[in-house]
Amino acid sequence: MTGLLEGLRVIEVATFVFAPAAGTVLSDFGAEVIHVEPPGIGDPYRMLTRMRPLPECEENYCWLLDSRNKKSVVLDLKREEGHAVLLDLIRGADIFITNYHPSVLEELKLSYATLSAENERLIYAHGTGYGEVGSEVEKPGYDATAWWARSGLMDAVRPGGGELALATAGMGDHPSSISIVAGISLALYARERTGRGTKVSSSLTANGAWANSILIQAALCGGKSYVPPTQAGTSNALLNHYRAADGRSFYLVIIKEADEFEQFCIAIERPELVQDSRFEKLEDRRANASELVQILSDWFAARPLAQWQRIFEEHAITFGSIATCDEAAADRQMECNSVFVAMEGRPGTRVIDSPIALSDFPKCAPRPPPELGEHGTAVLRTLGYDDSRIAALLESGVVGGS
C-alpha cells in the first residue's frame, strides 16, 4: 500500500527542528520531501550532535531522527540561477515549509506573496520563534528560549524557586511541529474546497503558551500567581513524587481524591490514615499535607519500586515510574505500540516514530537520511533539466552534490 500522502511534493527551506520536523511527519505518510540546503556544510542541523551536553555517539542521531525519508538538494539561493531552480521546484510543489526570518525570506525572494504568485495551489507553512508581527519578529528563537523560557514553563517547574532546569534538545520543537502538520492538513482540506493554497503560520511562543495554557489562563483570569511546590512542601500529597527503597522514583497522581483516598490507603496497607483526623477530609489533607507527605515518603522508602508498581497496578492506582532516557529507549509498552520503528536498509537501527497513526493508512518504513546534495541530479531531472544544464549548474556551484 502506498502512503496516504503519496504524490504530494514538499519543498523544505528550513533548519533545525521546529519546521523540518513537520516535513518528517509528512514524509512518514508518503509525501516526497525535498530538503534544500545551502552550499558548504549544508544544513547546520547536521552538526547538532557535536554540541554538548548532548550525548556523544558515533551515529548522527539528530539528523537520523528528523531527516529520515527526505531528499537533499544543495542550492545557492543567493544566486539568481539557484533561485530560478527553486521556483521551478515550487511550481510543481504542493507544500513549502520554512522557518527563516521574514527579512531573510524577503532577501531570498521566498515570501508567501512571491511564491504563491508562482503557484496558487501552494500551501506555504511558516514556523517562527515569536510570531510574524511585533518588535521581536527578527529575534532568533529556539525552543529553549521561545517555548521553554518565554512561556513560563521553565519557571513553573522549579520547586520552591530552586535551580532552573535547562531545556532538553527539541523538547518544544517536536510537539510544536505537530501544529504545523495540523495547519498543513487544514490547508490541504481548504484547497480541496477552494482550489487554492493558503499560508499556515505557527510560532514557538504560541505553542509554549498552549503547553502552559492552564497556568497562563489562570493568570489571564486574575488567579493567584502560581508558586511551584517542593516535594515536601506541596499542598497535595497525592499529586507528588516519591522515592522507593531502591532509589527509584515514581509520580503519584490521584485526581479523584474524594473517591480514591480510601482505596489508596487500603492498597498501600495504611488503612488507618482514612480515619486519621488530620487526613479524614479533603480540607484536612490540604491543611496537613506536609505531614502526609512525610508519612508517605517514609512508607514508600521501605520497599523497592517493583513492589509498589505491582501494588498500584493491582489496585488501579494512577502513577508513573520516573524513567531515565535509557529506560525510555527500552520501554516495552512503547515498543509494542511501535513508538520505535526499524529503519529500512539499516539493520539494528530504530528511530522514534511520529506520534500520529491512521488505522487504514499505515506509514512508510523510515529510510536513512540523505547525504549532502545526494538527490540534486535526480530531482533536477524531474523538472525536465537535461544533462548539459545539470552539469553546468553543478560546475558553477549553483547546485551542489550529485
Helices (H), 157-222: 173-194, 204-211, 213-220
Would you place residue 402 in the very low, low, confident or very high pLDDT band (cuts 50, 70, 90)?
low
Instruction: Write out the DSSP string of 20-66.
Output: HHHHHHHHHTT-EEEEEE-SSS--GGGGGGGSTTSPP-SS-HHHHHH
State the average pLDDT for the chain: 96
pLDDT score for 74 = 98
Strands (DSSP E) found in 54-112: 71-75, 95-98
- Cβ-Cβ contacts under 8 Å for 257 (sequence gap 6 or more): 236, 238, 282, 285
Question: pLDDT by residue (tens digit) across 353-374?
Answer: 999 999 999 999 999 999 999 9
- Residue 22 in contact with residue 127, Cβ under 8 Å? yes
- Residue 400 in contact with residue 373, Cβ under 8 Å? yes
Question: pLDDT by residue (tens digit) across 86-139?
Answer: 999 999 999 999 999 999 999 999 999 999 999 999 999 999 999 999 999 999
CB neighbour burial string for 86-108, b if at least 16 within 10 angstroms, e if fewer: bebbbeebbbbbbbbbeeebeeb
Other CB atoms within 10 Å distance of the CB of residue 191:
17
Q: What is the phi/psi pair of residue 259, to 5°?
A: -90, -25
Three cell numbers written together for 164? 532552573
Alpha-carbon distance of 125 to 135, in angstroms, equals 21
Other CB atoms within 10 Å distance of the CB of residue 325:
8
- Residue 14 in contact with residue 53, Cβ under 8 Å? no
- Residue 249 in contact with residue 241, Cβ under 8 Å? yes
Give ∠ CA 75-78-81 in degrees, rounded to 5.
65
Mean pLDDT for 20-41 is 97
pLDDT score for 258 = 86
Mean pLDDT for 277-291 is 96
Question: pLDDT by residue (tens digit) across 209-236?
Answer: 999 999 999 999 999 999 999 999 999 9
pLDDT score for 161 = 82
pLDDT score for 160 = 85
Would you place residue 75 in the very low, low, confident or very high pLDDT band (cuts 50, 70, 90)?
very high
Question: pLDDT by residue (tens digit) across 14-26?
Answer: 999 999 999 999 9
Strands 399-400 and 71-75: antiparallel
* Global confidence as pTM: 0.94
Question: pLDDT by residue (tens digit) across 323-335?
Answer: 999 999 999 999 9
Alpha-carbon distance of 108 to 86, in angstroms, equals 11
Mean pLDDT for 24-43 is 97
C-alpha 260: how far from chain center: 34
Would you place residue 188 in the very low, low, confident or very high pLDDT band (cuts 50, 70, 90)?
very high
Strands 9-13 and 32-37: parallel
pLDDT score for 1 = 52
pLDDT score for 401 = 76
Environment class of 200 (CB within 10 Å of its CB; exposed 0-12, middle 13-18, buried 19+)? buried
